[in-house]
Every structure is written in C-alpha cells, then in structure tokens.
Amino acid sequence: MEDTQRIVKDFILAQFLPGEDPAALEPTTPLVTSAILDSLATMRLVSFLEERFGIQVEAHEASVDNLNTLDLITALVRSKR
Amino acid sequence: MPTADLFTAFAVAAARQPGAIAVVDPDRGSVTFGELEALATRIHGLLALRGVRPGDRVAIHVQKSIEGIAAILGVLRAGAVYIPVDPHGPVPRNAFIMHDCGVALAIVERTLQPLLAPELATIGADIPLELVELGRDGGGVSNMPGRDGPAPAPVARGADDLAYVLYTSGSTGRPKGVMLTHGNALSFVGWCAGVFAPTPADRFSSHAPFHFDLSILDLFLPLTRGSTLVLVSHEVGKDPARIAELVAAHALTVWYSAPSILTLLAAHGAPAPLAFPSLRLVLFAGEVFPVKHLRALQRRLPHPRYFNLYGPTETNVCTYHEIPPDIPEERTDPYPIGRTCENLMARVVAPDLGDTARGEEGELLISGPNVMVGYWGLEEQSARAFVSGPDGRRWYRTGDLVVEAPDGTFTFRGRRDRMVKKRGYRVELGEVEACVLTHPAVAEAAVVASATEDGVRITAVIASRDGGRISLIALKRHCAERVPLYMVPDQFLFVPALPRTSTDKTDYQRIQEMA
C-alpha cells in the first residue's frame, strides 16, 4: 500500500510538479480540483496506473472521485489488484 | 410578426409536438416538450410567489440537467433574466457574480448551498436561495422547487429586453457580465436554423455548461425547432472514451464544442475507428483548432460536415467557415474563421479606426442584431467596446486581428490586447496576474500565454518576496480557489526580478521568450 502510494507520488512529482518539494505533496492534497492534473494529465496518469500496476481502469472510474488525491488513487489501484 | 422572446419561441415548438422528447439526460431520464413546459410553468409560479418581477435577474447555479434547463425556461417565462453561474467555479467568484448583477433570487443545487451561503453573507449579499435536488429521476417533478395550482400567464418580452447575462474574464481582475437580449439570441438562433437546417429528427449534443456562450446554440436551437437535446455531463465531457460511447449510444446528429475536446476524441476516443453513422454536423468554436488534430479527427470520422464558428460572447457567432473534406497532408495553417454570418456586417479597421484596404491586417468590427447591449454595470467599458461608424451604426470592437481574403473570408491573426482562449474560454491574462499577485509570497508576477501542440499554455513568471521558489502546489491551490481551473497557470517560472524595458515597464516580450 505505501509502496503503491510512493510510486504514484513519484510519477506525479516527476511529470506534473517538476522541482516541487516532495513533502508538499501530501496524501490528501487535492490534485484535480486544484489544477495540478488537467484532463490530459489525468489520462496520462491513468495510462501509467494501468501499465505500472497491470490493472484496467474503466472510463467511468477515471473521475475526480477516484483520482483527486494520492489516498484516493492508492485506494483505486488497491481495489483492482 | 416574428417571435420576440425565447420562451415564446420554445412554447411554439412545444405546442407543435408536446409528446416529442425535448431533453435526454443519459444518466437520469428524459422529458418531453410538454413536460418541460409544465416544469418551467411551475418554476414561474414559484418565482411569482417569491416576488420576482419581469426584468429581475435570477441566478441559475445548477449543473447541466433537465432541472437546470427547466429553471432557465421558467425564468424566461417569468420575463426575468437568467444569470448562469458555474457550479464548478470558485465560490468567491460565483458569489461576486450574483452580487454584482443584483440577483433577486438564486436557484441553487442543494450540494452547492453549504459553501455559497456563508460566502454570500461575507460579502453582504442578501440573496434568497431556492434549492434544487438532482435526484436519480432526471426532471422528476419531485426534485423541483415550484408551485402547483393556477399558473401565471407567460410574460411576453420584446426583442430589446435582456434575456441573460454571461460573465467572462475581465482584464482588471474581476469578471464582467455581457448583457444579451431576446432579440440578440433569436437573431443568432434564426441564423443557425438557416444554415444547419435542424429538424425534429436531430439530436444535438449539449456539451457546454450554461455559463459558457456555446450553450446558447445547444439550448435554444433544438428547443425552438423541436429537436432533441442530449446532455453531456461535466464528468463525461472531459473523457473522450465516454464521449464516443455517448455519441454512438444516443445516435447524435449534431456535435458542438470547443476544439480541445475534439482533439482528445481524435487522439484517444476509441481503439476502433470511430463510427457514428448518424452524426451529420461537427461544429466547433471558441479557439483555434490545430490543423494536425482536425485532420486526424476528419480521417477517423470522414462523413459529417465540419464548421468552424467564430464569435466573442458579445456578438454570438459572427463568422463561419465550412472545413473542406480531405484536409491536405501538407496544410499546417489553421483554417479561416470564415465569412460574415448573413444577419451581420463586418469591417476591418486600422488602429486609428479607419477602414483598411482589403488584405491588410486590422481589427474586426461587427454590427447587427446579435451584438450585446453592453457590460452589466460597467458604463465606461461598455462605451469603449463600441465605435460609431461613418454610417451611424454601432460597431463592436472584437479585439481580434484579422485579414480579409478577396472572397470575403477572414483569417484570425491574433489579439490586440492580452486576452487568450483556453479550452474555448476567454482568459484575460491580467485577471490571472491579479490572482497570482494575491499570494502572500509573490512580490511580482507577469502572465503570458503560448501556443503548443495541445493548445494554449499559460505561464506565470514570478519574483518571490524572499527570492526563492514557491511551492507549485501552494500556488496552484491558491489560484484554483479564486479563478476557474482553465485560468490557473500551467507553468510557473521563478526569477529574482521581472525583466524591465528601458522605460521601466514589465518587458513582456522577454517574458514571452522565457515561457
């Protein structure tokens, strides 16, 4: 679980928050509703999750309810494995 | 005599075919024209009970839904003016808009009330709220506020009476309300009907939210011509795979949106070739459609006709261009914004406002029945938006620089000010700058936009108070709480001090190069 979250966090920091202090990205930091992930970034994140964790995210699951924080993303990945 | 107001135009279509489906909410059901009219009548009854009078403003703070459309029609039936307010927008901005145009009442989705009410109290806006619950059964009367019993008669309005006010980004850091009349909207919708020839068999997408000007075509073209409107929700509307499912499942015949979502559809829409046999028209507006993506879409989906529609909120659509089939491989220039709509007039002027020779770049001016009255409560800005021509007509200054070809087709060249379009929305870079500057760690900021393959990218160049970096997360969150998400900068760059020109002004040219 923690490992999953770290992998997702590293991806988001590297792709969308270059140069950010890793400590500033907390498990509950809003990502979609604070414009850190726009729709293109969200699609890239979903592709990454599918490939990295060997899961299938359905179109209706790729929503703000499941992707807005690291905690939510981790829970989504976990529910699929 | 032509119909003079939007509600009457809807009611005429409803009387012709009360049993036809007017609106489909794919997740929550549908209503017929007759049912929709009955819902609007209930809303009117409620507004009358609450003392709303013709000409009063009523905010619509509801996500796109059958209930929201019924509320808009109810407001129009009461002769009042609807003010659509973004249900996903920042709360302070939404409260500002309602207060700014002095709404008599706000129709608000129940889930939005807990944040909105205290914000309205904070700014001293005493606005009664009527709450709408969006239940599972779309448009079920049980969800709707309203009043049963004898309904008041529809209040007829004239062409010059206001129908709605749409708020757009303002350069000084506060949004401004574009005032549009029944005559403006009906002239525009009438022009659309002439060109796109909708019939009761048509099924239109409704992708734009109510506060976005593309929604005027979405709502009032089908609803006044007896076609069906299929709602694309906020969530589905961002997701190309779900859009592809929806277009196919609901056999849409007309799609209308900003190009950005069509770009996603071309790139990520579906693994198999897109096959929407029913789709006959793809309309796009709001920003430049990069040719590479337009060609990719047309190759995957060759049979519909494609139209580029152009026009600021202040004029509705004022020029249009049909994209030819088979866009050549070598073409890289965007297609023109096209020729003047048949109900309007256009001129191109030099900075001294004198007419240019054909073929010379200049600012596009528009005159005619689509053009707004002015900005709500901003007399000076309204006056500046217009010039009177030698013919005595009132001409709206679009701020867009164009070149006119010998055949009367206009090509967009850029802006004369600091406004850009992002995902179809107008963004005044000055408003973004004002927002970034409210962050306590920011000493100086300049915001510029650049074109990328995936659309416009907004960059904020910042000098911080302590000379160091500021957390990107902190900056994004700060902005997202104050301006809509499409206005939040995509990129932040940090410099010790902003570059200056020799006259000590912010050197935007160098900042542009940095971005």
Across the interface, which of B241, B242, B485 has its CB nearest the CB of A35?
B485
Interface probe, candidates A16, A17, A25, A38, chain B, greatest B C-beta count within 10 A:
A38
Minimum Cα–Cα distance from B455: chain A residue: A40
Give the separation between CA B283 and CA B305, rounded to whole angstroms. Answer: 8
Find which of B86, B232, B239, B475 to mutate to test the A interface (most A CBs within 10 Å of its CB).
Answer: B239
Residues in chain B: 515
B73: closest CA among B130, B19, B149, B22? B22
A19 close contact with B: CB closer than 8 A: yes
Task: Work out the burial of residue B353: count CB atoms within 10 Å of its CB; fewer than 13 is exposed, 13-18 middle, 19 or more buried.
Answer: middle
Is there a contact between A35 and B474 if contact means CB atoms under 8 Å apart?
no
Range with lowest mean pLDDT among B98-112, B192-206, B395-409, B492-506: B492-506
pTM over 0.90: no
For residue B195, the distance in angstroms to the closest alpha carbon of chain A comes to: 33
Is A40–B480 a contact, with Cβ atoms under 8 angstroms apart? no
Q: In Å, how far from its chain's centre is CA A65?
A: 12
Residue B138: predicted pLDDT: 54
Rounded average pLDDT over B324-328: 93
Domains contained in chain A, CATH given: 2-80 (1.10.1200.10)
Does the CB of B476 have a partner CB in chain A at under 8 Å? Answer: yes
Mean pLDDT on B57-83: 97
- Distance (Å) from the C-alpha of residue B275 to the closest C-alpha of chain A? 19
Q: What is the DSSP string of B441-476?
A: TEEEEEEEEEEETTEEEEEEEEEETTSS---HHHHH
Q: How far is B483 from chain A (nearest CA, A)?
A: 10
- Closest CA of chain B from A72, distance in Å: 17
In angstroms, the CA B178 to CA B164 distance is: 8
Radius of gyration of chain B (CA): 23
pLDDT 10s digits, B294-312:
999 999 899 999 999 999 9
β-partners of residue B450 are B457
Looking at residue B504, its pLDDT comes to 75
B235 touches chain A (CB under 8 A): yes
Interface contact flag, B488 A35, Cβ < 8 Å: yes
With a cut of 50, say whether residue B1 has pLDDT above it: no
User: Three-class SS of residue B283?
Assistant: strand
Bridge partners of residue B108, in order along the sequence: B61, B131
Does the pLDDT at position B147 exceed 80?
Answer: no
Read off the pLDDT of each residue in B179-194 and give the average, rounded to a whole number: 97
**Closest residue to B473, CB basis, from A17, A39, A43:** A17
**More reliable by pLDDT, B56 or B236:** B56
CA of B470, closest CA in chain A: separation in Å?
9
- The confidence score (pLDDT) of residue B102 equals 97
Q: What is the spatial distance between Cα A39 and Cα B334, in angstroms, rounded to a whole number?
A: 24
Q: Are B253 and B281 in contact (CB under 8 A)?
A: yes
Instruction: Give how far A45 is from chain B: nearest CA, Å.
Output: 13
Pair of tokens at residue B498: 């902003």
Q: Which of A17, A29, A43 sits opposite B268 (nearest CB)?
A: A43
Amino acid in the structure at residue A53 = F
Residue with tokens 């073409």: B331
Using an 8 Å CB-CB cutoff, list chain B residues near A19: 469, 472
Q: Is B472 on the interface with A (CB under 8 A)?
A: yes
- State the smallest CA–CA distance between residue B288 and chain A in angstroms: 18
* B275 to A75, B8, B230, B295, B327: CA distances (angstroms): 35, 38, 18, 16, 19
DSSP B423: T
Say which DSSP state B143 is in: G
In three-state secondary structure terms, B290 is coil
Which chain A residues are closer than 8 Å to B247 by Cβ? Answer: none
- pLDDT tens, A26-62? 999 999 999 999 888 998 999 999 999 999 998 888 8
Supply the pLDDT for residue B172.
78
**What pLDDT shows up at residue B150?**
75
CB contact under 8 Å between B238 and A39, yes or no, is yes
Structure token pair of residue B373: 């009255």
pLDDT value of residue B137: 60
* Residue with more model confidence, B342 or A1: B342
A21–B471: do the CB atoms touch at under 8 Å? Answer: yes
Give B477's contacts in chain A (Cβ within 8 Å).
29-30, 34
Cβ–Cβ gap A19/B469 under 8 Å: yes
Q: Is the pLDDT of residue B268 over 90?
A: no
Q: What is the mean pLDDT of residues B353-359?
A: 91
Q: Does A15 touch chain B (CB under 8 A)?
A: no
Mean pLDDT score across all residues of chain B: 92
Encode pLDDT of B398-429 as tens digits: 999 999 999 999 999 988 888 898 988 999 99
Rounded-to-integer distance, Cα B356 and Cα B412, Å: 15
Asked whether the beta carbons of residue B476 and residue A35 sit closer than 8 angstroms, the reply is yes
Contacts of A59 in chain B (CB under 8 A): 239, 241-242, 245
Task: Answer whether residue B179 shows pLDDT above 50.
Answer: yes
Q: What percent of chain B has pLDDT over 70?
A: 95
Say if residue B269's pLDDT is above 80.
Answer: no
Q: How confident is the model at residue B460 (pLDDT cuts 50, 70, 90)?
A: very high
User: pLDDT tens-digit profile of B490-511?
Assistant: 999 999 999 988 777 888 889 9
Give the list of residues 6+ apart from residue B159 with CB closer than 8 angstroms, or none. B4, B5, B181, B182, B183, B186, B369
Q: Report, as an integer, the average pLDDT of B242-266.
A: 91
Chain B's closest residue to A35, CA to CA, is B485
H or E element in which residue B40 lies: helix B33-49
- What integer is the mean pLDDT of B19-44? 95
* A25 at interface of B, judged by CB pairs closer than 8 A: yes
Choose, out of A31, A40, A66, the residue to mutate when testing the contact with B (most B CBs < 10 Å): A40
pLDDT value of residue B231: 97
Asked whether the beta carbons of residue B473 and residue A33 sit closer than 8 angstroms, the reply is no
Size (chain A), residues? 81
Query: Which of the residue ranges B35-49, B154-168, B413-427 would you say has the lowest mean pLDDT?
Result: B413-427
pLDDT category of residue B136 using cuts at 50, 70 and 90? low
Q: Which among B238, B454, B477 has the least Cβ separation from residue A34? A: B477
CA distance B102 to B58: 9
Whether pLDDT at B135 is above 90? no
Does residue A11 register a pLDDT over 60?
Answer: yes
Structure confidence at residue B134 (pLDDT) = 81
